[in-house]
Amino acid sequence: MERLRSSPLHANISTALDKHLESIHVVQARRKDEIVNPSNRQRHGPPRCQDERVVLALAVALRALCQATRKVRTVLWCAFQMTLPK
C-alpha cells in the first residue's frame, strides 16, 4: 500500500501489524505448551490445577489475538481507504 501511495503509511499501522504477529507467536507457544504438558506428565501426574493454568494461559493468549486481529483489520481498512484514488 505504501508503494501505491508513494509515501509511508502512519506508524500505527506497522505497530498494529507487529502486535498481531506477536500475538500469533504467543498463541503458538501456548498451544505447544498445552500439547507438550500432558505428554510429560507421569501416570499419576501433578495436580490438575497446573493443567488448568496451561489452558488458562492459552485462553488469555487467544483473547489477546482476537483483540489484535480486530485492531489490525480496522487499521488495514483505514490504510486501504487512504490508498484509494480520490
Domain ranges of the chain: 10-83
**Cα gap 25→40, rounded to integer Å:** 22
C-alpha cell at 40: 510429560
Which cell goes with 11? 506508524
Lowest mean pLDDT, pick from 7-11, 15-19, 36-40:
36-40
Q: Which alpha helices (DSSP H) does the chain contain, by range? A: 2-5, 11-40, 48-83
List pLDDT tens digits, range 49-63.
667 888 899 999 999
